[in-house]
Amino acid sequence: MTAPVRPRDHAPASPPRAGRLRRALAGPLLTHYHRLAALVIAANLAFLAAGTSGGDSLSAAELSDAALINVALAVVVRQQYVINALFRLATSAPTSWPLGVRRILAKVYHFGGLHVGGATAGTLWFLALIGAMTLRGAPAPVLAVAYTLGVLLIAIIATALPAFRARFHDHFERIHRYGGWAALLLLWTQTLLVAHEERQSPLTSSAVHLLALITFSVALPWFRLRRIAVTAERPSTHVALARFDYGVTPFAGSSTAISRSPLGQWHSFANVPEPGRSGYRLTISRAGDWTGEFIDDLPTEVWTKGITTAGVANVETLFTRVVYVATGSGIGPCLPHLLAREVPALLVWATRAPRTTYGDALVDEILAVQPEARIWDTAEHGKPDMLALALAAHRDFGAEAVICISNKKLTWHVVQGLESRGIPAYGAIWDS
């Protein structure tokens, strides 16, 4: 036997469907991510209503400031230092606080809703500004830059929509990065052209100050660009285990972005530090061209930038006991928390032939800290009902919350299935 398994015959029956209202509240349209985006849009509508309540229209300066404030929100909330600060603030609540409060604080990783709301509102404000400049007859150079920027912003938003992003993720990533840089350059160009036209000093312009903040936020991770050595092994053709030791030992629950070329694709993976040992590991599974090439052609060096950034599983400290539900390489983000043993936890892991795929060493390492782990070998028992297993583990372990690390479809199924039954549940939301 490779590891403890729970045979299919003894798996709990699928739980009954929840009521329609509870399912709706736990559904994808009413997630905290969408609530935050709606909050940003509502705040902008309130500003619009206040600015036009007397029958007057907003001035070009007000439209410009509104656009840049929203863009600044969209950019800064994605900054690594800001993300870590948000997690640190949210997870500082003690477990003595009511569970109802802690379960909401644990949704901190939905901060991407602020990014979406800010980017959408900023683009709409900027389109309104283009209309205002056109009506007042702004100089041709200013209008040319403005119209180019407007088209670019619309393209960035359109290609960031879930349908496009999921199907053409590599294109989305390039358009978002290079389009974003081009948009920032055009914003600087337009702002300076307008300041010159109106004979204003750029140093006193609020637009310049906001652009400086945006530019600094975008550039900051690149100040820490470095090429680092990596030692990688391939337990199977499905996975590579990469080890790094260059003077950085990240905290459990963080992630690191790596690339084989600084201007190429960047991919983030959960860091797996080991207590008492410097450096960290990454578990890289075959999930596309980039990861496939990494596994087939193990590199000796890669690039990294910025700082290690907090991820969803960091919310575990808000609860007294948690269940980790993982499938396949989802064990990677769970492993550092299991090794750290900061919070009592129980692992439920479904994967194909765990010892063959990930190696004896990794499986033994897991069992050393999780002897009661419920490991389901899908090669032997087929695919389990992960929601039923999660409910059973939550009940048996007396956990306050469940953290699910899996593919998008299964994560949503488990998280929404648990939350519709009143159980705090958390998992990645694939918003980047």
pLDDT in tens, 133-157: 999 888 899 899 999 999 999 999 9
pTM above 0.85, yes or no: yes
Q: How many Å apart are CA 254 and CA 281, to the nearest integer?
A: 12
User: Helix 112-136 to helix 140-159 angle, to the nearest 10 degrees?
Assistant: 150
Buried b (16+ CB within 10 A) or exposed e, 146-158: beebbebbeebbe
Q: Which two tokens stand for residue 134?
A: 């056109």
pLDDT band at 1 (very low <50, low <70, confident <90, very high): very low
Measured distance CA(133)–CA(60) in Å, rounded:
7
State the pLDDT at residue 427: 93
Give the pLDDT band of residue 127 (cuts 50, 70, 90).
very high
State residue 10's pLDDT score: 39
430 versus 230: the higher-pLDDT residue is: 230
* pLDDT tens figures, 220-274: 999 999 999 999 999 888 889 999 999 889 998 899 999 999 988 898 999 999 8
Query: Is the model more confident about 103 or about 22?
Result: 103
pLDDT of residue 136: 87
Between 432 and 128, where is the model more confident? 128
Return the bridge partners of 242, or none. Answer: 232, 282
**Per-residue pLDDT tens over the stretch 26-41:** 666 778 899 999 999 9
What is the DSSP pairing of strand 301-304 with strand 425-427?
Answer: unpaired
Rounded average pLDDT over 76-102: 96
In SS3 terms, the chain reads as CCCCCCCHHHCCCCCCCCCHHHHHHCCHHHCHHHHHHHHHHHHHHHHHHHHCCCCCCCCHHHHHHHHHHHHHHHHHCCCHHHHHHHHHHHCCCCCCCCHHHHHHHHHHHHHHHHHHHHHHHHHHHHHHHHHHHHHHCCCHHHHHHHHHHHHHHHHHHHHCCHHHHHHCHHHHHHHHHHHHHHHHHHHHHHHHHHHHHCCCCHHHCHHHHHHHHHHHHHHHHHHHCEEEECEEEEEECCEEEEEECCCCCCCCCEEEEEECCCCCCCEEEEEECCCCCCCEEEEEECCCHHHHHHHHCCCCEEEECCCCEECHHHHHHHCCCEEEEEEHHHHHHHHHHHHHCCCCEEEEEEECCHHHHHCHHHHHHHHHHCCCCEEEEHHHHCCCCHHHHHHHHHHHHCCCEEEEECCHHHHHHHHHHHHCCCCCEEECCCCC
Q: What is the pLDDT of residue 26?
A: 62
Q: How many CB atoms lie within 10 A of CB 393?
A: 22
Tokens of 190: 């337009």
Q: Span 330-336, mean pLDDT?
A: 91
Please determine, for residue 280, whether its predicted confidence score (pLDDT) is greater than 70. yes
Of all residues in the chain, the percent with pLDDT exceeding 70 is: 92
Q: Is 90 exceeded by the pLDDT of residue 180? A: yes
Pull the structure tokens for residue 182: 């081009």
Cα 322 to Cα 416: distance, rounded to the nearest angstrom = 17
Domains and CATH numbers, the chain: 30-221 (no CATH), 225-310 (2.40.30.10), 318-427 (3.40.50.80)
* pLDDT surpasses 50 at 118: yes
Task: Report d(CA 417, CA 421) in Å as an integer.
Answer: 7
93-126: buried (b, 16+ CB within 10 Å) or exposed (e) per residue?
beeeeeeeebbeebbbbbbbbbbbbbbbbbbbbb
Residue for token pair 């500003």: 47
Query: Residue 133 in contact with residue 55, Cβ under 8 Å?
Result: no
